[in-house]
Chain A
Amino acid sequence: MKKALFVIGVALLVALLGGSSVWCQERIVIGGVAPLSAPGAAESGAEMKIAMEMAVGEIGKILGKPIKLQVEDTRGLPEEGTAAMNRLADAGAVGVVGEFHSAVAKAEIEVANERKLPLIVSEAWADVITGKQYPYVFRIAPANSLFYTKVADWVKSIGAKNVVAIVENTDWGLGVDSVFNATLPGEKNINGQAISYTSIVAERTVSDFTPQLLMYKAMRPRPDLVMDIFTGTGEYLIVKQAAELGLATTRETAIFPVGTSALYPEYWETVGEYGVFSITKTGYHPLLGVTPAIMEFTKKFEDKTGKTPTFAAMEAYDSIYVLAKAIENAQSTDGDAIVAALEKIRFDGVLGTIWFSQERKPDYMYHQWPGAKAVLIQYTAKDQKYTDAELIWPAMLKP
């Protein structure tokens, strides 16, 4: 009896161990970092994670070894980002991609540099992320200065003279605010009028912006544009409360949710009709060019989730491919070899041909993808998908 049980036990063990040949193979671990829960922007993190999983599923193997994707929830908190990067390094990740929040990315780059772990930042825009010029840090998303200096040009082009903003107290928010502070006050708009810019900083946990919006409403002249420099719940609340108070959107005053949250279906669920005629930015719009790669990715993403992907998902998807390609080119999982490969890479991704600048001036251009772009769109109907919204800038892309 004992002998029979022993034989059965061994047989079961062999069946379990031998059942999957993959289990016995060494795997290449790729790390992913994204906010999957509040107070981070969970809707963005969720789509980034799905996009990463899609890419890993398609690539399958690197250097003949299966890939294991390990995504850590950074919750939009810098200390969670640090912990996540350390966990990934301890788990043997050969590279990490992702992150949505600049404050978190700022913490993650320190770990990347300290532990010599290549990090491709997918969607965090603060200049300092590449501005610190760490050798192990690369970025696909645009830098604040790259994009918002051009938004300032748009503000001048529409003849706005009184611009106000509510700014989230994070590296990204303060970074955008500093770009506008450097490019708007005292400048002349298209009509030759001096532009004034007023901003109020708030914690991400604030839910009632009514006092500040009332203050803006009482300004004379009335603001032409309200910049909602927030992400997540705060971004929705500012649009909602500005409309409830009769501040924006009106004939005199437009509102511009600057974060990415206005691109998601949750925007319409939370702000409803108040979102009509709001302006926002996107890194992808069909008028930028619908390549086969974009169509294929969009279809696969929609089939999987039932939702249209935003550029955050595309960036995360491309980041995985870029990292995988760099490992293949380097024929090594050594951090320095991957970095050297990333510096030479040219990869045709969903968003375009990705490569990384070696320029050190301005400082944020180091290891930055110079081809990152974004456009401004305006919703013209409730529940409108961002891909159907009207492209309002740059003007040369309008049909």
Chain B
Amino acid sequence: MELFVAQALNGLIIGLLYALIAIGLSLIFSVLKIVNFAHGECYMMGAFVSYYFSTLFGINPMLSVFLSMLVVFLLGVVIQYLFLRPLYTGAVERKDEYAILITFGLGVFLQNVAMSVFGPWTKKSPDFISGITRIGFMTVDNNRLAVSGVALLIMVALLVIIGKTFVGKALRAVSQDRDASAIVGINPHRMNILAFGIGVALAGGAGGLIGPIFLISPVMGILPGIKSFVIIVLGGMGSIKGAIIGSLLLGEIESLGSVFFLDPTRGLAYKNAFGVLLLAIVLLLKPTGLFGEKHVRME
């Protein structure tokens, strides 16, 4: 029982980290109607930017995370303006293929830039809070507790912005109907920029938070990027609520599944398969994902 509870807590913490990456991807899809295949690399860039803010400039590690989110937001704005804007100005014919190619290419480019500039070696960001905390029979790293709390706060803040502010309403309007939004005075291009910037900034923030826990390297974004694709399909494309629920589900399934698998000594080897298995089952029962709606293509 103790082992189950400890694993469930670990799964919850991991799920919250997944959620931060996945909701950014979900937001981008809901507004821009594209899948950002460079999302994992934006997560990686956030990790490195945060690392260098705290080690080179001596800035507080948590503040470095928020600064890295700002940097990655600006990077996202530039990427959106330079490479994705043509999708919405009629300059590109095969929009879906263009979006896939351009974001995939950007991902490869960012990874190689990181390898050249930062080097291929593994690094660790400074701790947010060093030491461990004992919660009854459980031992939890303080960094994980801090990161979970901050991830939760960021998600709550995002949900409040999306649900209660004018900007959030504008984003939702554009995600539902670009033309109608334009008619009522909302600039869809600006909302695209904002959505993409916020989306990658969330990934960058997740990367910055991960730094002291899972270490950072130029290829650290590959697996989380893939998992975030699984999560947004599982939760329903474009559904932020679905991304959060999907993330928590995935975190729990991976944590519990790898230990309580039929053969526990092989469970960890199949860890990445649990999420895909869950995805397959959910899609069989509900093809649009847990909270997804009928698929909407880019106009």
List residues of A whose CB falls within 8 A of some B CB. 36-39, 42-43, 46, 166, 169, 198-203, 205-212, 214-215, 218, 232-233, 236-237, 240-241, 244-246, 266, 269-270, 272
Q: Is the CB of B124 within 8 A of A37?
A: no
* B-side contacts of A237, CB under 8 Å: 214-215
With A211-B7, A214-B10, A233-B217 as contacts: A36 and B268 at CB distance below 8 Å: no
CB closest residue in chain B, given A245? B139
Report the bound CA distance from A257 to B119 in whole Å.
Answer: 23
Q: For residue B112, give the distance in angstroms from its CB to the closest CB of chain A.
A: 9
- Beta-carbon nearest neighbor of B265 in chain A: A200
Q: Which residues of B contact A236 (CB under 8 A)?
A: 122, 124, 215
Is B132 a contact partner of A244 (Cβ separation < 8 A)? yes
Q: Which residue of B lies closest to A169 (CB)?
A: B269
- 25 A-B pairs with CB atoms under 8 Å apart are A36-B120, A37-B115, A38-B120, A43-B121, A46-B120, A198-B265, A200-B264, A200-B266, A200-B268, A202-B268, A202-B271, A203-B272, A205-B223, A205-B272, A206-B271, A207-B214, A207-B215, A209-B268, A210-B10, A211-B255, A212-B267, A214-B7, A214-B259, A233-B215, A244-B139
B3 contacts the other chain (CB 8 A): yes
Chain B residues in 8 Å Cβ range of A201: 265-266, 268-269
Question: CA A272 – CA B139 in complex, angstroms?
Answer: 19
Other than the given A198-B265, A205-B222, 7 more pairs (CB < 8 A) read: A38-B219, A199-B265, A206-B268, A211-B268, A214-B259, A237-B215, A270-B122
Q: Verify if B218 is at the interface (C-beta below 8 Å from A).
A: yes
B2 interface residue, CB < 8 Å from A? Answer: yes
B121 CB contacts on chain A under 8 angstroms? 42-43, 46, 266
Smallest CB separation, B252 vs chain A (Å): 11
Any A CB within 8 A of the CB of B26 = no
Chain A neighbourhood of B269, CB < 8 A: 169, 200-203
Q: Is B6 an interface residue (CB 8 A)?
A: yes
Shortest CB distance B125–A (Å): 10
* Nearest Cβ on chain B to A285's Cβ, whole angstroms: 24
Chain B residues close to A by CB (< 8 Å)? 2-3, 6-7, 10, 14, 115, 119-124, 132, 139, 141, 214-215, 217-220, 222-223, 255-256, 258-259, 264-269, 271-272
B122 in contact with A233 (CB, 8 Å): yes
Residues of B contacting A206 in the complex (Cβ-Cβ under 8 angstroms): 268, 271
Measured in the bound complex, the distance between the Cα atoms of B298 and A166 in whole Å is 46
A270 / chain B contacts, CB cutoff of 8 Å = 122-124, 215
Question: Min CB distance, A239 to chain B, in Å?
Answer: 11
B122 with A232: CB separation less than 8 A: yes
Q: Measured between C-beta atoms, what is the minimum distance from B40 to chain A in Å?
A: 12
Q: What residues of B have a CB within 8 angstroms of the CB of A269 in the complex? A: 123-124
Asked whether B267 lies within 8 Å of A37 as measured between CB atoms, the reply is no
CA distance A240 to B214 in the complex (A): 9
User: Smallest Cβ distance from B281 to chain A, in angstroms?
Assistant: 21
User: Chain B residues near A241 (CB, 8 Å)?
Assistant: 141
CB of A60, distance to nearest CB on chain B (Å)? 30
CB distance from B226 to the nearest CB of A (A): 10
- Least distance between B246 CB and chain A CB atoms (Å): 18
- A214 to B138, alpha carbons, bound, how many Å? 9
Q: Are B264 and A215 in contact (CB under 8 A)?
A: yes
The residues of A that contact B218 with a CB separation of less than 8 Å are 37-38
- Once the chains are docked, how many angstroms separate the CA of A396 from the CA of B269? 39
State A38–B120 Cα separation when bound (angstroms). 6
Q: How far, in whole Å, are A37 and B132 apart by their CA atoms in the complex?
A: 33
A211 near B265 with CB under 8 A, answer no
Question: Which 6 A-B pairs rank lowest in CB-CB distance, beginning with the nearest?
Answer: A42-B120, A38-B219, A244-B141, A202-B268, A37-B120, A207-B214
Closest chain-A Cβ to B9's Cβ sits at a distance in Å of 10
| Contact (Cβ within 8 A) B223 A211 | no
In the complex the two chains form, is A200's CB within 8 Å of B267's CB? yes
Complex contact A211–B10 (CB within 8 A): yes
Q: Which residues of A contact B220 (CB under 8 A)?
A: 207
Least CB distance, A275 to chain B, in whole angstroms = 12
Residues of B within 8 A of A198 (CB): 265
Considering the complex, give the chain A residue whose CB is closest to the CB of B11: A211
Contacts of B139 in A (CB 8 A): 244-246
